[in-house]
Structure 1
């Protein structure tokens, strides 16, 4: 019977005599042909799912690793960019990955995504997966400190682009100007006449959250304003709501800069429950300028991140290394712009 239709039971483990495990060894272990192993290893169709699972199990048992270098020599290029991300839960990460995939497609490249769970995935397993990747370059949508915590060893010889300005100069970096975006938001609120600005920050240890908090704090300090305690959330609307209840309970809070639009959404709810109107009682600014920001009630003033431009620049930086281009910048910072809508206004008059 054709092994594409039905796999035979796996046989006793092949004896490779210490040499590199081959497709033939995997085929023997899985009870299929070498052609079937090749189709599974290269991600081609025409293989039953049951057969595919048996082949993958045999690869794992034998420690088989596809010979990416040989395949690259044969094909000239994989025309694939690997993307590593530590989370797919935030709008910013989703939009960034979407932008990378679109920009890569325009260049005739596909993308391979690896979610990295820095605290739960073993370094050896991640390294093995990276070694197996048939990619021309890697784009890391992950903060440097998380990469170091996971002890991930990047494959040698593969061009890397990091989307984190907290990285050292060992890699090419593309990132959004987090600091200036926060500065614009804070200056806008101060220009409306607010005495100071509260801040709902992102999680501690997050580089974007840190840079946004630094931009907010430094702008207040330069203006000689009091700096309220940082209220630290986790990027979610739920944390924005919990922290927002604390801000809403303080009558001195008339302006809040949120580290992202999702936390601003939670703040909206907290302020309304406390009977405080936006923007008559409290002005609110977010960060990201998501597509939904204009649909908030009232529409949310927010710092715009150009995810499409960031994705295009990251892909361009990766391919410049692949093609051996000279003169490419080691650090490429994408500017941010403040989009003013109806959630900000002058503070309420005294005695109101």
Structure 2
């Protein structure tokens, strides 16, 4: 079967579209749409002619084009902050896995800047692809403030947000930081410092607050170093300062990469973790079990978070009862980087 005008499929300089198929099959583009969408009211000979043309042209129906007819694209959009660290990346992967299991695909759009124009442009791109729902994985305060001002008319869920309570899904960051701090205090540490991630991130503020609340419950004075980055380099720089002061016996790190850099800084001058300093991280990255020493940390259940995000969207799309928006509980993973201090400083008693 020849393409109209004598041009062979191999001669096409672009991907074939629905009108190319219609011309090759000698039918209208509406008939091709009916074949794509499984309409029963078609002659079998016509259907087969269209299918043969699709095969010859190697035409694959575009999901967004299909949505114009069916009103269902089976696409979930994901707005993702560029340069995001392990947490957002792992959450996106979990959302993709859960969406695929439900017969959907995830279309991610990355934003480079937390300004209105960049965010709106990313959302416009997703809307042009006929996404049925949105997962917002941009947990910086400025980004969320912009999103709050936009009118999103399709189902959406924000991940690790302090805003949009009706649409928020998260691992409980505050509870995780309290778990990490409490573990060190129960081991006997009283001089515990917190090394946070970067400002403007929702997780940074929630983890800082959890540390402060647990220290206050034990009647202890908190100590927080200036905000850094989510990187091992940032942890290394803080470690250089902490190892000189030697005022603290334990540290709660903003994430596992910060903990990695901090341990490195101590090792460079012959100080040992956990003998000279106990360290607890946050996230439980896949490599955390292989740090030296293996890292005690807070595990976030990203697969469960992804499942819940997709469940929220699908329930709304299907008109089913709303899914509860409760936080996913974190877990303390005990390894070798945190032990009781060599000299137990019983300056304060545990809470009653």
Instruction: Report the Cα distance in structure 2 between the residues aligned to 1:235 and 1:45, rounded to whole angstroms.
Output: 49
Considering only aligned residues, what root-mean-square deviation do their CA atoms show, in Å? 3.2
Q: Which residue of 2 aligns with 1:342?
A: 336
Is 1:198 the counterpart of 2:179? The answer is: no
Q: Any residues of structure 2 matched to 1:121-136 within 5 Å, and which?
A: 122-136=118-132
Is 1:283 the counterpart of 2:262? The answer is: no
- How does the TM-score come out when normalised to structure 2? 0.77
Give yes or no for contact 1:87–1:93 (8 Å, CA) kept in 2.
Answer: no
CA distance 1:47–1:179, shift in 2 (3 Å): farther
Q: Mind listing any 5+ residue stretches in structure 2 that lack a counterpart?
A: 1-6, 20-27, 33-53, 346-352
Find 1:256's aligned residue among 246, 251, 269: 251
What's the offset of the Cα at 1:175? 0.3
Give yes or no for contact 1:194–1:347 (8 Å, CA) kept in 2.
Answer: yes
CA distance 1:116–1:240, shift in 2 (3 Å): same
CA distance 1:196–1:174, shift in 2 (3 Å): same
CA distance 1:261–1:144, shift in 2 (3 Å): closer
* Bigger CA radius of gyration: 2
Aligned residues: 303
Q: Which residue of 1 aligns with 2:97?
A: 102
CA distance 1:343–1:148, shift in 2 (3 Å): closer
Give yes or no for contact 2:94–2:303 (8 Å, CA) kept in 1.
Answer: yes
SS of match in other structure, 2:112: coil
Q: Which residue of 1 aligns with 2:69?
A: 74
SS of match in other structure, 1:248: helix
CA distance 1:153–1:210, shift in 2 (3 Å): closer
Give yes or no for contact 1:231–1:243 (8 Å, CA) kept in 2.
Answer: no
Find 1:231's aligned residue among 211, 226, 233: 226
Give yes or no for contact 1:127–1:154 (8 Å, CA) kept in 2.
Answer: no
What's the offset of the Cα at 1:304? 0.6
CA distance 1:45–1:210, shift in 2 (3 Å): farther
CA distance 1:273–1:72, shift in 2 (3 Å): same
Is 1:140 the counterpart of 2:140? The answer is: no
SS of match in other structure, 2:191: coil
What's the offset of the Cα at 1:315? 0.7
Q: Mind listing any 5+ residue stretches in structure 1 that lack a counterpart?
A: 9-22, 25-33, 39-43, 49-65
Give yes or no for contact 1:300–1:343 (8 Å, CA) kept in 2.
Answer: yes
Is 1:92 the counterpart of 2:98? The answer is: no
SS of match in other structure, 2:207: helix
Q: Which residue of 2 aligns with 1:174?
A: 169
Q: Which residue of 1 aligns with 2:154?
A: 158
- How does the TM-score come out when normalised to structure 1? 0.77
Superposed CA deviations along residues 38-93 of structure 1, whole A, max 9, x for unmatched, are 9xxxxx99999xxxxxxxxxxxxxxxxx996x843512411111111113541112
Q: Which residue of 1 aligns with 2:11?
A: 5
Superposed CA deviations along residues 216-257 of structure 1, whole A, max 9, x for unmatched, are 011111211121133321101110111111111122221011
